[in-house]
Amino acid sequence: MGKGRRKYGFSFSWKRALGISSAKARISRKIGIPLTRSGRQRKMGRMMGCCVYVIGISIIAILALLLIIW
């Protein structure tokens, strides 16, 4: 769980009441970059996962070309 004690029932957030949370979410969706640290880390993890496949296929292709040339 996060910081602090567990809350049951009603909880109040002044950021949600003032609309700060929804404004940040709209900005984040518009620019395509998460504004939270964990969101940015998740996005980078997804991007790195995709890159691993591309790099692996590239290395295999280069090795195949080198074997053909030799």
Q: How many angstroms separate the CA atoms of 21 and 13, rounded?
A: 10
Residue labelled with tokens 């790099």: 55
- The residues near 24 (Cβ < 8 Å, ≥ 6 apart) are 35
Q: How many angstroms separate the CA atoms of 65 and 67, rounded?
A: 5
Confidence at residue 26, expressed as pLDDT on a 0 to 100 scale = 93
- For the chain, 70 residues long, the average pLDDT of each consecutive 10-residue run is 65 84 91 89 83 85 88
Residue 7 and residue 1 in contact, taking contact as beta carbons nearer than 8 Å:
no
Residue 35 and residue 28 in contact, taking contact as beta carbons nearer than 8 Å:
yes
Q: How many angstroms separate the CA atoms of 13 and 65, rounded?
A: 60
